[in-house]
Amino acid sequence: MAKRSKIKLREFIGPLSGFVGLVVVAKTGSLSLGLSVCFGIIAISLVILICLKILKDVRLKKAGILDIDKMSGFQFETYLGLLYKQLGYNCQVTRSVGDYGADLILIDKNGKKIVVQAKRYNINVGIKAVQEIIAAQNYYKAHESWIVTNSYFTQQAMNLAKANDVKLIDRDQLVALILKVHPNIAPKEVAATVNLEDHLCPKCGSNLIIRNGKHGPFYGCLNYPKCRFTKSILK
């Protein structure tokens, strides 16, 4: 949920290699051997760090998180709608009609309603977002409330979320979810093709919501079956 403090290998390379080198010198009396061991540990550690960095970059690229970082808020909401649709939820993007703190409304197969706030941020998500989704849960009479972000959460946001059973999904968890689901539509496609004006039905003015069809997800009118307008998500 929040960005976790992790022990970083690079912070310990110098002290560790120096300590081991001193131990070797003390045990063997050989300064050259101690230096060799010291530099060997540094070299091996650097190789490990480079490999880990390469693996992390490949993982992030595969998930498309860097494309998500470039999205507008509405594009991020649409992408999350597609992602959760593929996970089996019925999904409505609420943005254009006044969302009351919720950007998505999910209904699972058991009829449980979940309100979701999508935060496509360049900074950590603060306590205000948690306050808004708590209010949205009450307004929509939902069973659960979630906040999903491409970033992380402040400590204050985490504290309030924990006290109110709000589920926080941060950047790391989002990447893991995307890699697990393997969505049919990549973030780059959504960022290139989805615009806010695509969200309203041109026939009746109601919200367009994401539906599933024979050929994949599409926009359908919220007013169905009275209005049968449909539109491709990707032009």
CATH of the domain at 155: 3.40.1350.10
Q: Which carries the bigger pLDDT value, residue 195 or residue 74?
A: 74
Q: How many domains does the chain have?
A: 2
33-38 mean pLDDT: 83
Task: Give the pLDDT confidence of 134-159 residue by residue, as tens digits.
Answer: 999 999 999 999 999 999 999 999 99
Instruction: Tell me: do 95 and 174 sit in the same domain.
Output: yes
Question: What residue numbers bound the domain in which 33 lies?
Answer: 10-63
Q: How far apart are the two ends of the chain, measured CA to CA in Å?
A: 34
pLDDT of residue 218: 78
Instruction: Tell me: do 102 and 138 sit in the same domain.
Output: yes
pLDDT at 190 over 50: yes
Instruction: From 45, 63, 81, give the residue that closes a domain.
Output: 63
pLDDT of residue 164: 97
pLDDT at 2 over 50: no
pLDDT at 168 over 80: yes
25-46 mean pLDDT: 84
pLDDT at 224 over 50: yes
Instruction: Tell me: do 21 and 119 sit in the same domain.
Output: no
Highest mean pLDDT among 14-28, 150-164, 179-193: 150-164
Q: Is 60 helix (H, G, I), strand (E, B) or coil?
A: helix
In a domain, 160, yes or no: yes
In a domain, 208, yes or no: no
pLDDT at 31 over 90: no
pLDDT at 197 over 70: no
Instruction: Tell me: do 31 and 111 sit in the same domain.
Output: no
Phi and psi at 205, nearest 5°, equal 80, 0
Q: What is the pTM of this model?
A: 0.65
Instruction: Tell me: do 58 and 137 sit in the same domain.
Output: no
Closest CA to 49 of 4, 18, 5, 10: 10
Cα 124 to Cα 52: distance, rounded to the nearest angstrom: 25
In a domain, 170, yes or no: yes
